[in-house]
Structure 1
């Protein structure tokens, strides 16, 4: 089976999902190609996972260059002759469905709905597109039941499948107290202070501005507490300015983008992600795999990634700094309870969110939608022939 993944963005959780799928599918004996823009981490990490990486220059948002991006993608698909096309996130979903229009069995994975990220006329136009373009996907793959329910409620008619996100539970291994102290020493952090860590792209979606609005109340209640924001992104400058305006900016550390978040997760007492929208964020799963408790906005995917019966005190309404501050302070004040909840979280992720199981489910989905096709000659629908070979 030949699988062509198309992705824009090239960083963050979407890129990690693509790399994990590519690695697992290569190990299963599939021919795997990844088309994406250069820059970011996706191209290099997908190549290291064994995928053939194809350059697809494309911006993150639709614009005047979109027709040319669609044309380039059409050429890529024609040359690759994939059995299945897997489109990741809104921009790849736009360009890929326009380029192929159902001529190749297509899986569209939104990784959070695009119409949830915008407002006004743009949101309405985006929703109209998703309703129309669903006809060009054999399956719409969601990472949470809530994401699927939101799509259905918005009037999108599709063959829906839900496969929750997963993480490599061997790579994100649990840490003990000694390992946590070692991680703090390596990062230049105090050894015994309460530490909250937020890992995520610095952007409106992830809600770091809400976290900073909540932080003064946490610091007032727990003067020794510290906060670290780990990640890079378009809001880095604005968030740095917000930190400087805090009563005690030295308590907050902007760590920037990091290649490996594990030392920060190991160092944390609590991992916080106050997102405004998600499909199912990877950072909380990674944190829980390492035995750390999480505090999340109650957005799609959040409830479903938490251990059953452990949602009280782990979920906060989106954009509610006062409640976020209260729950953060409650958690950071009890390190023993943090350790206990972290151990429960680790067991849950191993059982429900091991990435090896996710890869198996996605491959089974491909076989289901390809069953009528793979018995005959391999072809690429009615896409017009274009020059060029891989």
Structure 2
């Protein structure tokens, strides 16, 4: 595919282990492999994801580097504006809510700017006053962008309402490689294994998952938690207090969750809120059903027969009942679950972004 514009600039604060960074780098590599000149302007080299960009993506780091701290996003925005004053790009992609200050700085520079919505736009935990403040900030930061990309139709409609103009387009999350391995049969092992994954912070709900497993009628079920974070010690203490420490394994950060999904009977997502979590898509692609809290529009994928169950937020008892119900059912056809998320493969998603960029005029 020939590039319909000279080049694409992506602005990232750094290469931290975050969903926004992973998606942006995955898209950068996908565009570069399609013959588009792609540059990532980063505030700093911090974080382990830089290597994912491959050899065809140019990476430019701010000089002096800008590390994450109070006010650093404003400094990143100023540095990015100075950078585009020296270099001409066909389009700028600003990934995720975290980077919206960059979108505000680059709007009006004569370059097309597309901003992505990566996190939930309406969190019940905010309350009405904080929600109003969030929407005012979003409107201020994105008022000059040419296009907004959301990961679901629900978020698209919310974004257009907040921004008071029809500027948003839904493009699927690029959660899957084009040549990901086929879904394997569900392991017929005893005891069954449940997998949960994410950063170990309170809003991800891992404490609820541990409580739900402790309450299961089958006292042999094993839980594997993939990820790292500040709650690790507390989660280990909780599993010890509940008497299930021998059945709960915290494996830390892994570069690829797929081998753990292959061992699982079920994946559990118990967050308080999510934008559109890649790990839910990855679980279905591996052929594993999902029990999830009602924390993301992505749970719409679980409406398909056998794909999983959705439970209310913050309800460990409901989570435990749903896990027990799913474990009691016959394992679904892995290929059928994998087919539900084919539209999340990087090739189709990267092409959809390029089509959007080609139609944007600053």
Greater alpha carbon shift after TM alignment, 16-25 vs 164-173: 164-173
Matched, 1:355 2:346: yes
1:98 to 84, 101, 104: 104
Distance 1:284 1:2 in 2: 32
Q: State the SS of the aligned residue for 1:338.
A: coil
Flag the 1:324–1:232 CA change in 2: closer, same or farther, 3 A: same
2:335 paired with 1:329: no
Structure 2 unaligned spans of 5+: 1-5
Q: Does 1:107 align with 2:103?
A: no
- Counterpart of 2:240 in structure 1 is 244
6-15 or 124-133: which moved more?
A: 6-15
Deviations 1:281-333 (A, max 9, x none): 1111111111111122223322343464556x521122221111101111123
Q: 2:14 matched to 1:5? A: no
1:364 counterpart residue number: 355
Cα distance change of structure 1 residues 58 and 142 upon mapping to structure 2, 3 Å threshold: farther
Decide whether aligned partners of structure 1 residues 205 and 153 sit closer, same or farther in structure 2, where only a CA change above 3 A counts. Answer: farther
More helix per residue: 1 or 2?
A: 1
Secondary structure, aligned partner of 1:119: helix
With over 3 angstroms needed to count, the CA separation of the structure-2 counterparts of 1:101 and 1:152, relative to structure 1, is closer
Identify which range, 83-92 or 295-304, moves more after superposition: 295-304
Q: Report what 1:316 is aligned to.
A: 311
Question: Does 2:198 match 1:200?
Answer: yes
Normalising by the residue count of structure 1, what TM-score does the alignment of the two structures yield? 0.81
The aligned length equals 350
Change (3 A) 1:238 1:81: farther
Tell me how far 1:344 sits from its aligned partner. Answer: 1.8
Write the deviation string for residues 15-69 of structure 1: whole angstroms up to 9, x where unpaired: 22112211220121101112333232332211x26211222555667x3344333
For residue 67 of structure 1, give the secondary structure of its aligned residue in structure 2.
Answer: helix
Aligned positions of 1:141-156 closer than 5 A = 141-154=149-162
More RCO (CA 8 Å, sep 6+) = 1
Compute the displacement of 1:161 (Å). 0.3
Please give the alpha-carbon distance, in whole angstroms, between the structure 2 residues aligned to 1:115 and 1:298.
13
Q: Decide whether aligned partners of structure 1 residues 82 and 238 sit closer, same or farther in structure 2, where only a CA change above 3 A counts.
A: farther
- Cα deviation for residue 223 of structure 1 reads 1.1
Q: 1:261 aligns with which of 257, 263, 283?
A: 257
**Structure 1 residues 155 and 69: alpha-carbon distance in aligned structure 2, compared to 1, 3 A threshold:** closer
2:134 is aligned to 126
Contact residue 164 and residue 280 of structure 1 kept, 8 A: no
Structure 1 gap ranges (5+): 182-190, 374-390
2:285 to 289, 296, 317: 289
Kindly indicate whether residue 294 of structure 2 is the aligned counterpart of residue 275 of structure 1: no
Match of 2:185 among 176, 179, 199: 176
Counterpart for residue 337 of structure 2: 345
Contact kept? 1:280, 1:301, Cα under 8 Å: yes
Residue 74 of structure 2, aligned match among 40, 43, 67 = 67
Report the aligned-residue RMSD: 2.6
- Residue range with higher mean Cα deviation, 25-34 or 154-163: 154-163
